[in-house]
Amino acid sequence: MSSITKILFVKNPLIKRYSYSVLRPSQFWIYLTIYIAVVALLLFINYSSYKTKTGADKNEEFYNNVYYQLIVLQVITLWIWAAINSKSALTTELSDKTYDFFRLLPLSAMQKTTGILLGRNLLPILFAAINVILTLVFGFLGKRSISLQLQVILLLISSSLFINTLALLSSSTTVKKRGKTSIIVWILFLFFAGPLLLRFIFLPTHQPFGKNNEVEIYPVKFYNIEIPILLFITLVCLYMSLWNILGILRKFTFETEPIFSRKGAFLYLLGYEFIVIGLFMPHLSDKTIYPFWLVSLIPVVFTPVGSIKSYDHYLECCGLRGGHSDTGKSMTSILFLNSNLTLAVGLFFVWVIFSVLMAMIGKADPSRYIFNIVIIFSFYFFLLLLLELYVVYNPIYNKIAILLVFLTILYLFLPLLLYFTLDIPSLCFYSPIGFFAQIIEPFEGKYFVNYTSILIVNAILCVIPACLISKRYFYILALRRKM
């Protein structure tokens, strides 16, 4: 056993505990046999194909085929097998009725995190290490450059870290809710991975990969700085993995707290905007302003969901200040400052700053984009009110989420349905989806759209939810005064 392995086992008893389970001979030989069989079958199939071919470059083709297939095997091992292990770690503790023991272990949150990620994945890591050696050997034989092989290995490591930490973060949320789905975390995956996928939209089609333009040197323009595409994706994966780890540490340390703290929500948004702006900046024009708005708005919509404070948090934060004042004025202000609404509006304000700056740089029409921002905010605020309705009324009506999801679906899709049914294009603008589709790519044809009416409709829709939320806020303040 190497010195590094000894340190991991001594410093982290969770890894030692999991090793007794996953590395015991009664099951280890089964996984080892399957792995050897898969690699042997892969080599046999490629060698059989190799024997039937002719040509001077058939040796190089054989080695390259095996090289890429080993990479696929590595992806299956680290992205699928390891991710399943990471996600099932805490749910297994829960089903085995050992989760309370796990919570009381005298280990730090970081030790628990590394213990699960490494301990539960000892077998995938072992086979992945063997795969790396085989991949390097066949890569060299296939005349793959050292630069490409190193970048591929780094990409596999960083992406595996991202996927496994996200899986563990999802698992910790599931445990907290005792078996409920972790859909919030997987929705957040959409904008965690967004900057990774966004770049490929702008890849120039006239520069295909080839011998003179290998993938390891293919440039990505990030703030007009050319970075190899594999290296860029690796760095973004590492950055996103850092936020996943912070979320896991927060869940292990403060189980009743949301994934994001209020400060963390703003910091994450700033980092996300930095990445997205860097990708759009080299291609910025009047035509790319609104696609930038759409992509950069994604975390503004979903981060409040990951930062949502519960009804009990509201009672607690009011109680912390209520003892210092007899008037309740301080409680009102502290409730307002700790409200989910103020956090979400603050995030939207940050987005507005970046959006206006990008629109000014892209030389878009100021009157147009400022009015569009106001309309977008009206859509956004109504959805926020629905989210806050869930927070303040869930203690009374535990099935209210079903009604609110139904209302959200109606709000998003009913105008589109009426547009297709009645063939009145202007109706689709009353849906956030239709409005964004129109500003990104205006519809053909002549028709009249009164954008002021969209604001009026959204304002009317906000009245009832705002009144209901205010009623519950006043109830929280009155309840705290009686305590």
pLDDT tens per residue, range 236-272: 999 999 999 998 998 888 877 888 888 999 999 999 9
Q: What is the pLDDT of residue 377?
A: 95
Any domain includes 223:
no
Assigned domain for 273 exists: no
Angle value at C-alpha 30, between 27 and 36, nearest 5 degrees: 140
Domains: count for the chain: 1
Among 477, 284, 470, which Cα is nearest to 363's?
284
Say if 376 falls within a structural domain: yes
Q: What is the pLDDT of residue 325?
A: 47
Q: pLDDT band at 54, cuts 50/70/90?
A: low
The verdict on residue 144 lying in a domain is: no
**DSSP secondary structure letter of residue 114:** H
Q: Say what the pLDDT of residue 302 is.
A: 87
Mean pLDDT, the chain, whole residue set: 82
**393 pLDDT above the threshold of 90:** yes
Mean pLDDT throughout 416-445? 82
Residue 349, helix vs strand vs coil: helix
Rounded percentage of the chain residues whose pLDDT exceeds 70? 83
Residue 102 falls inside a structural domain: no
> Do the Cβ atoms of 201 and 280 come closer than 8 Å?
no
Helix (H) or strand (E) holding 175: helix 146-176
Chain mean position to CA 126: 28
Element (H, E) at 227: strand 225-228
Asked if residue 188 has pLDDT above 70, the reply is no
Residue 73 lies in a domain: no
Least confident of 65-79, 160-174, 280-294, 310-324: 310-324
Domain that holds residue 434: 284-483
Confidence grade of residue 334 (pLDDT, cut at 50, 70, 90)? confident
- Segment 344-367 mean pLDDT: 87
Q: Is the pLDDT of residue 93 over 70?
A: yes
Reply yes or no on whether the pLDDT at 445 is more than 60. Answer: no
Which pLDDT belongs to residue 5?
A: 53
DSSP H stretches of helix in 338-425: 340-361, 366-393, 400-422
Segment 18-42 mean pLDDT: 89
d(CA 351, CA 295): 11
Residue 8: its pLDDT value, please? 54
103 occurs within a structural domain: no
Q: Looking at the domain assignment, is residue 438 inside a domain?
A: yes
The pLDDT of residue 216 is 65
Q: Could you tell me if 169 and 185 are in contact, meaning their C-beta atoms sit under 8 angstroms apart? A: yes
The DSSP output letter for 223 is T
